[in-house]
Amino acid sequence: MVSYVSAETSTSGILVEDVLHLTTEDSHQEFVEAYITFGCGQVQTGSFLDVAAPNGLFGLGMEKISVPSILSSEGFMANSFSMCFGRDGIGRISFGDKGSLDQEETPFNVNPSHPTYNVTVSQIRIGTTLLDSDFTALFDSGTSFTYLVDPAYRRVSDSFHSQARDRRRLPDSRIPFEYCYDMSPDANTSMIPSMSLTMKGGNQFAVYDPIIIISTVSELVYCLAVIKSAELNIIGQNFMTGYRVVFDREKLVLGWKKFDCYDVEDRSTFPINPRATTVPPAVAVGVGNYTPKSAKETRNNSESSFAFTILP
């Protein structure tokens, strides 16, 4: 069973084996078949009873059962992968991608007994205010939004609110965000405080999508897309928007670079071992089920929600 951030929300099911059809991104365009294991959801609880529940879990964590671990141990790829999150809610995943020489990086804080993609954030800049907020956070592509515990949550929220120019709305039980504002007809992004993180090592991680816009019958509302957490800091998909994020499990670093997800450039990958196949191959490209107006929340330390499908 996998538990999520939302109260009493979980999914459980069975593990199944299937074949992943991949193609290399080099000039040779070789096709391979890889046997992988993923979770097939059967029983859902909590908020999954009200919103679309995941059909399954496509494990991307550091454990041996995850898809990247299986692919690298079988010699298909380097022990690294990247995920790109576009502003239109569509992204892609590239197995074996180690990123580029000009990407920014920060080390993972690895707990050998329970390894996760955990990093250290040393500062947060909100608009013109620089906050010294040293904390660790899980980089989790399976979480739609970002979660912070106090005092980081309170300091970020207070700073954002003090610099927001629009009228704050009264709390709405249907919206999980605490700080929401009426968007004026002539609103533009310059009215919304910018946000960036300073990671361990000093590299900057600009947050291009810190808000979510919610459409009502008669108006537009925007919210700071950060949710208060009781015990765990999580950097979710919304903070990764606009980046190619590299999870390098060999160097044990997180890499990131501003990127157009529809673009293709030379990246450092590992030669794969092609196997004969009679099945029409599919490119290892994912279509995310996360949309900017969705308030669905998913999380798991070691696995990402099944937000990516292999295209036929």
How confident is the model over 225-234, as pLDDT tens digits? 999 999 899 9
pLDDT of residue 6: 59
**Overall fold of domain 2-305:** Cathepsin D, subunit A; domain 1 (2.40.70)
127-173-57 Cα angle (round to 5) = 80
Q: Beta strands 234-235 and 129-139: pairing type? A: parallel
User: From CA 300, how far away is CA 304, in angstroms rounded?
Assistant: 6
pLDDT of residue 102: 96
pLDDT of residue 49: 66
How confident is the model over 276-307, as pLDDT tens digits? 333 322 222 222 333 333 333 333 333 332 22
pLDDT of residue 3: 64
Question: Average per-residue pLDDT in the chain?
Answer: 81
Q: Nearest Cα to 82, choosing from 245, 237, 236, 261?
A: 245
Q: Nearest Cα to 67, choosing from 94, 107, 29, 85?
A: 94
Q: Where are the domains of the chain?
A: 2-305
Which of the four pLDDT bands, split at 50, 70 and 90, describes residue 130?
very high
In the chain, pLDDT over 70 holds for what percent of residues? Answer: 78
In the chain, pLDDT over 90 holds for what percent of residues? Answer: 52
User: From CA 161, how far away is CA 126, in angstroms rounded?
Assistant: 10
Range of lowest pLDDT (6-20, 118-132, 202-216, 295-309): 295-309
pTM for the structure as a whole: 0.79
Those residues with Cβ within 8 angstroms of residue 34's Cβ, 6 or more apart along the chain or in another chain: 19, 20, 22, 70, 71, 74, 76
